[in-house]
Amino acid sequence: MLYCNVLITIMSIIAGYAASSHILLALMLAVFGFLFSMLTVYGVRTSSVGIAGLIVMILSLQTPMHGWDIWEHGISIFIGGTWYLLFSLLLYKIRPYKIIQQVLGDFIMDVGEYLKTRGLFYDTNPEYDKTYQLLLQEQINVQAEQTLLSDILFKFVSINGKKMMQPFLLC
């Protein structure tokens, strides 16, 4: 999260300076658009960093800034990001299992939607092609949620050891 905060601050400052020239702006949009889009290759969390960078880039281009305004905008983004970082760390200390519970709930909801879609095969006159397309989409959703859940669970185990996982173990 700290890296994301630094990245979007730098992106805000670069976008502020590049806004003065149309050539620099076009080059910046092409290069950073490609680089931030490529972050999706590394997973859901890194794609969120890329999306945050693109959003800050677009928001920094909304109003023209010059001189100290560019740095003031970058500093305010950094302060806001740092505030959010500290706030989320505080919430993590208060309720460390909340993220696991939310992701597990989303996973169970997606599995339920998958089973509901699969139940369409048992209608009196099922539309097989449409149902297979829906089933494929639901399977993709379930796979994405399962990957996210396993990443989060393995992260918790590697950071805090088995003691952190005991509320989820039955034995």
- Burial-class residue 97 by CB neighbours within 10 Å (0-12, 13-18, 19+): middle
Per-residue pLDDT of the chain (171 residues; tens, 9 = 90+): 888 899 899 988 988 888 888 898 889 889 988 988 888 888 777 888 888 888 888 888 887 788 888 899 899 999 999 999 999 889 878 887 888 888 899 999 999 999 999 999 998 888 999 999 999 999 999 999 998 888 888 877 665 555 555 555 544
Amino acid at 115: L
Q: Which of 78-87's residues contact partners 24+ apart within 8 Å by CB, and which partners?
A: 78/5, 78/6, 78/9, 81/4, 81/5, 81/8, 81/9, 82/5, 84/1, 85/1, 85/2, 85/5
Q: How many CA atoms lie within 13 A of 161 on its CB side?
A: 1
- What confidence tens digit (pLDDT) does each residue in 84-120 have? 999 988 987 888 788 888 889 999 999 999 999 999 9
What does the angle CA 27 – CA 30 – CA 34 come to, to the nearest 5 degrees?
A: 145
Quote the longest CA-to-CA distance of the chain: 69
| Alpha-helix runs per DSSP H in 61-97 | 68-94
Q: Provide the residue ranges of all domains of the chain, joining segments of one domain with +.
A: 2-93, 96-168
Read off the pTM: 0.63
